[in-house]
Chains A and B, each alone.
Chain A
Amino acid sequence: MGAATGIGLVFNSIVPHFLAAYVDTVDYVEVIPETLWTDRGRLATRRYEPIPAAIDEVDALAERYPIACHGIGLSIGSASALDEQHLAEIRRFADRYGVDRISEHFGFSRVRGPDGDDHHLGLAFPIPCDNDILSWMIGRIERAMGILGQPIILENGVHHTPLIEQDMTEPEFLNRVAEVTGCGVLLDLHNLHADHRNGGPAPLAYIEALDLEHVREIHIAGGSMIGRTYTDSHAGPCPPEVWDLLVDVAPRCPLLEGITFEFHDSYFPRMGSEGLCQQLQSAREIWAGLPRRHDVT
């Protein structure tokens, strides 16, 4: 199977059915490995219980499409000890499917509980971009990449609340981490858009501060309002602002391997197969217009 380049779709319960009917709409499928097992936590004697039905679906997709890995469970920014068991399980997943791109989220979603196990917050938070945390994070990323056997790609998250008095901005932090460790960046344009909709900085300010040579993948998605807050809910089609950002940014990322569309399966009825095809086709047209160096395969 070739590399996960071009246009991709994040795996969910709809994707196998959609791709059975619209085979050529994507070049790769991006799988959240944590959807293939039940994780009973660090202290469990038998920690990971596979979910056979989900594995069967991914096995079938892997016969036709390259698989990329998009983890949600590592919590690389947690103050608790680096979860090497979890990394080893991700490595097993990557080896099984010949994955050549493993992404995770830049932030933390777990905290150390009084019982010594991690407790999940249920949502991810950014970590403070301070000098002491930079050196600590570099060590964790290097150790993680050693276990994974390949670079990890870190995704920018959303910020519903501010982190004041940081030593550097998040793009500066990511630049330095990437320079030292060789990790990559997954640039989520919808997360930047969501931050801006909620009163945060303009996405282009973040993008201009980021060294785009580290960007290996771009995520695009849609969102929705919850109360007065715009949420990265993957609720359907990309808003026009995200398409504008993609048109602007993608040509400036010389090592970009893929553009991945994310949608939550519960919102699929709003979009339908035709709507999903349109999103993928729009992304493909932008991909096709990129400089020739992007045609890796």
Chain B
Amino acid sequence: MSLDGFQRALADAVASPSRCLELRRDGSLLENYELDDRERRRLLAIVGHEGMSHNCTLYRANRLTPLARSLPRTCALLGDRLLPELEAFWAREPNTEIQFKLEAERFAHFLSERCNEGAFGVADELATMLCVELSDLDRQFGLDSHF
């Protein structure tokens, strides 16, 4: 078996709807992964199945959830800019972080850089909101160890 290659190929496809479409058109793209013939057929069956779009949707929903729950007012303040900023963030950080605090910190760092680049007209409000919500997170998650 070459389970590692199979799982990494599947993970890459789930993280990218465009990658799925490419694989549907051109199965030879799987040559970058160590796979046996059966695993290659399995992957092509998976990406070609209608349920794959749901996998991709769940992947994105599960990446959004930690941010929406940890930085709700920041997300609201971004408004229509949220989606393009998320797309850019996910492109830069392709690896999912399910730990809410860590993911919120990563996104906050990304937004801070974008503020410094002059990407937002509401940079001051955004910076303030990030400070407030990150402080809230620190209080919520605590700093002391007693486990």
Instruction: For residue B142, give the distance in angstroms from its CB to the closest CB of chain A.
Output: 4
Known contacts A50-B146, A122-B98, A128-B42, A161 near B49 by CB under 8 Å: yes
Could you tell me the distance between the alpha carbons of A49 and B4 in the complex, rounded to whole angstroms? 29
A14-22, A23-31, A37-45, A141-149: which one contacts chain B? A37-45
Q: Is the CB of A37 within 8 A of B52?
A: no
Q: Which residue of B lies closest to A166 (CB)?
A: B42
Q: Is the CB of B63 within 8 A of A122?
A: yes
Could you tell me the distance between the alpha carbons of A164 and B146 in the complex, rounded to whole angstroms? 47
**A36 contacts B by Cβ under 8 Å:** yes
Q: Which residue of B lies closest to A39 (CB)?
A: B99
Q: Is the CB of A227 within 8 A of B11?
A: no
Q: Which residue of A lies closest to B37 (CB)?
A: A165
Q: When the two chains form the complex, which single residue of A79, A119, A121 contacts B59, counting CB atoms closer than 8 Å?
A: A121
Instruction: For residue B144, give the distance in angstroms from its CB to the closest CB of chain A.
Output: 6
Count of interface residues, chain B, beta-carbon cutoff 8 Å: 43
Q: Which residues of B contact A165 (CB under 8 A)?
A: 38, 41-42
Instruction: For residue B128, give the distance in angstroms from its CB to the closest CB of chain A.
Output: 25
**B95 contacts A by Cβ under 8 Å:** yes
Q: Which residue of A lies closest to B44 (CB)?
A: A164
**A281 contacts B by Cβ under 8 Å:** no
Q: Is the CB of A160 within 8 A of B54?
A: yes
5 example contacts (A-B, Cβ-Cβ < 8 A) are as follows A38-B99, A50-B142, A108-B7, A111-B4, A163-B46
Q: Which residue of A lies closest to B52 (CB)?
A: A161
Q: Which residue of A lies closest to B15 (CB)?
A: A121
Q: Is the CB of B46 within 8 A of A161?
A: yes
**A120 contacts B by Cβ under 8 Å:** yes
**B58 contacts A by Cβ under 8 Å:** yes
Q: Is the CB of B11 within 8 A of A38?
A: no
Q: Is the CB of B96 within 8 A of A119?
A: yes
Could you tell me the distance between the alpha carbons of A111 and B6 in the complex, rounded to whole angstroms? 10
Q: Which residue of A lies closest to B101 (CB)?
A: A38
Binary flags per residue of A115-140, CB closer than 8 Å to B gives 1, else 0 = 00001111101011010110010000
Q: Which residues of A contact B46 (CB under 8 A)?
A: 161-163
